[in-house]
């Protein structure tokens, strides 16, 4: 796959040598095109070393144009990715300007174009930038991100460039270079639960757990990129709603159960990534509980198992559960797969706080008759791989109908 990587002058340009490496690892040939201001943030020497190609930066470079003109370069590309994309380049693209090599290439290519905006969050939210974003999107340019979090300027908000690995996965992923939003889940609806639940004790207190929701949100984004319609039933998390995903916010396990069952009839695939409380207080005090003796006891009752209840539906979607275990990972995960009659289970080790709130995860996946291990990787790229696996298992289970619902599962301890 031939990719033109356009680099413009934002601080996130310092991440582009890493981005080039991630693209090349995924088999892409990368031709870098830098703007003049990108040189303030990253050197040509570093980029040339990682891409293995001389950098292009000038529409009037006679030697470069003689070996491959900008029109030939535009034809050569299977995809164009601009990362980071500044407010300035977005404005120029929106206006159809062609004053430099990069903007000229975008006008001259017939291949898909994606941009990864990166800028201060106040700039990103500026109506002019948002109007340009909407216009570019309307014209078919894919807008990847931005992400939310702490920014180079010391502030926090939406405007961070997506991580190199996620950008590389998207641009080299299924369907992107064919210009189809189509992916392995096109035409399918995926319902995902994510995050923790909050079980109220009284008006000021609740019980919860350490789930960040990152895995469920990453799966939602990956399923969307794979072409699915995605509905996300989310417990309280500190993550921005992924654009294009239908997010339904809930608090308690009961709320999550109700919302999931309200939506499940529309789903072809259900992924239970939420860390749902297994118990909730039997009753919720309507006034703040005042402290009294040295001890207190809260009586708890089991919550409904959302995952098992979906798997037991007569017309159950392809159902994927998660198992977070501190020990005997495979044994417990396979037990859950069988007990809850799941199509697939994703098991992760949470010993020593591993997996919770982390950006990376390693998992073992099991299904009736098989399994696959996924080594430690960014949750975003793991999510893409899991969505690929889910879609191929979904096809195998639903497509031919010949797969047994349960058989011997290999255990890989």
Q: H-type helices in 162-212, by residue range?
A: 164-172
When binding is defined by CB under 6 A, the residue of 167, 324, 389, 390 that contacts ligand CTP is 324
Residue 332: which residues within 8 A CB-CB, separation 6 or more? 323, 325, 347
Catalytic hit among 91, 153, 300, 362: 153
Which part of the chain contacts ligand CTP (CB under 6 A), choosing from 105-113, 202-210, 273-281, 293-301? 273-281
153 is catalytic: yes
Residue 232 makes contact with ligand CTP by CB under 6 A: no
When binding is defined by CB under 6 A, the residue of 307, 363, 365, 390 that contacts ligand CTP is 307
Residue 219 makes contact with ligand CTP by CB under 6 A: no
Euclidean distance between CA atoms 390 and 397, whole angstroms: 10
- Cα 112 to chain centroid, rounded: 20
- Closest contact distance (angstroms) between CB of 207 and ligand CTP is 13
- Residue among 324 and 397 whose Cβ is closer to ligand CTP: 324
Residue 199 makes contact with ligand CTP by CB under 6 A: no
- Residue among 66 and 301 whose Cβ is closer to ligand CTP: 301
Residue 272 makes contact with ligand CTP by CB under 6 A: yes
Residue 225 makes contact with ligand CTP by CB under 6 A: no
- Residue among 38 and 256 whose Cβ is closer to ligand CTP: 256
Cis before 146 (ω within 30)? yes
- Is-contact 345 325, C-beta < 8 A? no
- Cα 291 to chain centroid, rounded: 44
**Contacts with ligand CTP: how many residues (CB under 6 A)?**
17
Euclidean distance between CA atoms 291 and 280, whole angstroms: 20
Residue 303 makes contact with ligand CTP by CB under 6 A: yes
Q: What phi, psi does 276 have (nearest 5°)?
A: -80, 135
Q: Which residues are catalytic?
A: 153
- Give the binding site for ligand CTP (CB under 6 A): 193, 253, 272, 274, 276, 278, 303-307, 321-324, 332, 336
């Amino acid at each position: 796959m031939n990719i033109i990587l356009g680099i413009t002058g934002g601080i996130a340009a310092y991440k582009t040598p890493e981005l080039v490496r991630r693209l090349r690892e995924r088999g892409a040939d990368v031709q870098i095109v830098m703007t003049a201001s990108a040189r303030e943030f990253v050197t040509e020497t570093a980029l040339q070393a990682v891409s293995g190609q001389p950098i292009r930066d000038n529409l009037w470079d006679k030697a470069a144009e003689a070996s491959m003109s900008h029109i030939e370069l535009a034809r050569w590309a299977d995809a164009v990715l601009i990362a980071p994309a500044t407010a300035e380049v977005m404005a120029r693209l929106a206006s159809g300007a062609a004053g430099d090599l990069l903007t000229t290439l975008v006008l001259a290519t017939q291949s898909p174009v994606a941009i990864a905006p990166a800028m201060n969050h106040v700039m990103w939210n500026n109506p002019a930038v948002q109007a340009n974003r909407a216009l570019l999107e309307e014209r078919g340019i894919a807008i990847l991100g931005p992400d939310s979090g702490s920014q180079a300027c010391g502030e926090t908000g939406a405007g961070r460039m997506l991580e190199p690995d996620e950008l590389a996965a998207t641009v080299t992923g299924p369907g992107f270079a064919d210009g189809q939003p189509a992916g392995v889940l096109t035409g399918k609806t995926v319902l995902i639960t994510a995050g923790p639940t909050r079980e109220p004790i009284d008006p000021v207190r609740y019980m919860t757990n350490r789930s960040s929701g990152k895995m469920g949100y990453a799966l939602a984004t990956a399923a969307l990129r794979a072409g699915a319609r995605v509905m996300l039933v989310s417990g309280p998390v500190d993550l921005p709603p992924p654009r294009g995903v239908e997010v339904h916010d809930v608090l308690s396990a009961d709320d999550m159960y109700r919302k999931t069952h309200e939506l499940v009839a529309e789903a072809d695939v259900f992924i239970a990534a939420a860390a749902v409380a297994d118990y909730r207080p039997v009753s919720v005090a309507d006034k703040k509980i005042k402290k009294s003796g040295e001890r207190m006891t809260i009586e708890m009752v089991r919550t409904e198992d959302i995952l098992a209840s979906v798997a037991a539906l007569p017309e159950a979607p392809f159902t994927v559960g998660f198992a977070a275990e501190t020990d005997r990972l495979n044994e417990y995960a396979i037990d859950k797969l069988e007990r809850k009659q799941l199509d697939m289970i994703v098991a992760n080790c949470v010993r020593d706080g591993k997996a919770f709130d982390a950006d990376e995860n390693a998992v073992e996946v099991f299904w009736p008759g098989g399994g696959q291990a996924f080594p430690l990787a960014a949750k975003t790229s793991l999510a893409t791989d899991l969505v690929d696996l889910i879609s191929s298992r979904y096809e195998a289970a639903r497509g031919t109908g010949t797969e047994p619902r349960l058989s011997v599962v290999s255990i890989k301890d």
